[in-house]
């Protein structure tokens, strides 16, 4: 299943959508934009198609996939929603939230997509192209981020091609994604909702809707990773990543945020400013593209100035911490 294929670049029009839907229904792999990052889609009910995702990404099979649906009604056919899950779905779908719930006995999402778990991860994306595509396919679409396993998630079609050209049937080109970091993952499996991955929906927004803080999965379960896929080292550029840099060494690549101008900046090899105004939403939208650009300069180290963890800053810091983790 890793024999080279010609990867088609499909435009965001009726023809492109129809071609993408037909390929997915035929068991092929199609990358498509969501408001967070590009996903690598396959028919979630077809184990052979889902197996192609794991092969194309070189993703370990113990790491389950998110099933994408066009609306909440379709999602409720795949999982069992407790009161908290219903509240969260009503508040944030369509949008950058993934709910992990007990799988519905009649779910079409296959065992391989769920990595054999009794739960299922469900998401209703807000991107209009994603919603049109999902409606046209008429089946749950399994879609991890459309990058090689362990690498930086793609926020543009050419990022997808850099990682997966020759390994997937097509990319539906929707331009830059808006949010830039992946969905927030919340588990509603009985008991209080647990935050498995910070992402496009902030902790403050969850708290406002739930009336309490979501439980941190790591806090209740320190020995195990929160989600099967939440390995420490992830989102890794080739370069080493150095966090909370107070000064810059000669030749380092630099990620700036806000007003900080650390000493030594004039000797940097390359600089990307995530948000001159210090806006975490703007910074999230630029984060993965900036990491890819700085990595392409060949710098040995990417130094990152301190980024506060309010709002989307929590998801940004989470991704950068994984990028900086030892590998």
Instruction: State yes or no: residue 237 binds ligand TXA (CB under 6 A).
Output: no
Number of residues that bind ligand TXA (CB under 6 A): 28
Sheet holding 141-142, edge to edge: 8-10, 170-172, 30-33, 38-43, 141-142, 66-68, 119-123, 97-102, 184-187, 194-197, 215-216
The correct pick among 145, 155, 178, 202 for binding Mg ion (CB under 5 A) is 145
Measured from the Cβ of residue 177, the count of other Cβ atoms closer than 10 Å reads: 23
Instruction: State yes or no: residue 193 binds ligand TXA (CB under 6 A).
Output: no
The torsion angles phi and psi of 137, rounded to 5 degrees, stand at: -70, -40
Tell me which stretch binds ligand TXA (CB under 6 A): 4-12, 104-112, 139-147, 268-276.
139-147
C-beta of 106 vs 211, nearer to ligand TXA: 106
Q: Collapsing DSSP states into helix, strand and coil, what is residue 66? A: strand
Separation CA 9–CA 228 (nearest Å): 32
Instruction: State yes or no: residue 177 binds Mg ion (CB under 5 A).
Output: no
Binding partner of residue 66 among Mg ion, ligand TXA, none, CB under 5 to 8 Å per kind?
Answer: ligand TXA
Binding partner of residue 229 among Mg ion, ligand TXA, none, CB under 5 to 8 Å per kind?
Answer: ligand TXA
Separation CA 200–CA 36 (nearest Å): 7
Are the C-beta atoms of residues 320 and 243 closer than 8 Å to each other? yes
Residue recorded with tokens 């979630």: 44
C-beta of 21 vs 195, nearer to Mg ion: 195
Binding partner of residue 109 among Mg ion, ligand TXA, none, CB under 5 to 8 Å per kind?
Answer: none
Instruction: Please give the angle made by the CA atoms of 238, 240 and 241, to the nearest 5 degrees.
Output: 115
Binding partner of residue 57 among Mg ion, ligand TXA, none, CB under 5 to 8 Å per kind?
Answer: none
C-beta of 37 vs 245, nearer to Mg ion: 37
Which residues here bind ligand TXA, judged by CB under 6 A? 34, 36-37, 39, 63-66, 98, 100, 114, 117, 119-121, 123, 143-145, 182-183, 185, 196-197, 227-230
């Amino acid at each position: 299943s890793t024999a080279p294929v010609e990867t088609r670049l499909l435009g965001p029009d009726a023809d492109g959508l129809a071609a993408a839907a037909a390929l997915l229904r035929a068991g092929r792999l199609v990358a498509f934009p969501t408001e967070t990052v590009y996903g690598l889609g396959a028919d979630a009910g077809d184990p052979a198609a889902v197996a192609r995702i794991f092969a194309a990404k070189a993703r370990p099979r113990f790491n389950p996939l998110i099933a994408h649906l066009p609306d909440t009604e379709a999602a409720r056919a795949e999982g069992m929603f407790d009161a908290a899950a219903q509240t969260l779905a009503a508040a944030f779908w369509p949008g950058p939230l993934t709910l992990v719930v007990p799988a519905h006995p009649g779910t079409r999402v296959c065992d391989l997509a769920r990595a054999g778990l009794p739960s299922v991860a469900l998401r209703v994306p807000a991107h209009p192209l994603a919603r049109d595509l999902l409606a046209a396919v008429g089946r749950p679409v399994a879609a991890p981020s459309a990058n090689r396993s362990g690498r930086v998630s793609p926020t543009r079609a050419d990022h997808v091609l850099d990682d997966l050209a020759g390994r997937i049937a097509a990319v539906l080109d929707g331009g830059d994604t808006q949010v830039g970091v992946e969905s927030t993952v919340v588990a509603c499996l009985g008991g209080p909702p647990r935050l498995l991955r910070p992402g496009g929906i902030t902790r403050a927004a969850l708290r406002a809707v739930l009336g309490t803080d979501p439980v941190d999965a790591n806090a209740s379960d320190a020995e195990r990773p929160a989600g099967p896929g939440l390995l420490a080292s992830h989102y890794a550029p080739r370069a080493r990543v150095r966090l909370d840099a107070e000064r810059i060494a000669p030749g380092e690549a630099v990620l700036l945020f806000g007003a900080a101008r650390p000493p030594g900046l004039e000797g940097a090899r390359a600089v990307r400013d995530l948000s001159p105004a210090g806006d975490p939403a703007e910074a999230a939208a630029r984060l993965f593209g900036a990491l890819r650009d700085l990595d392409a300069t060949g710098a040995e180290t990417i130094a990152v100035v301190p980024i506060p963890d309010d709002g989307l800053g929590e998801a940004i810091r989470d991704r950068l911490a994984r990028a900086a983790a030892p590998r």
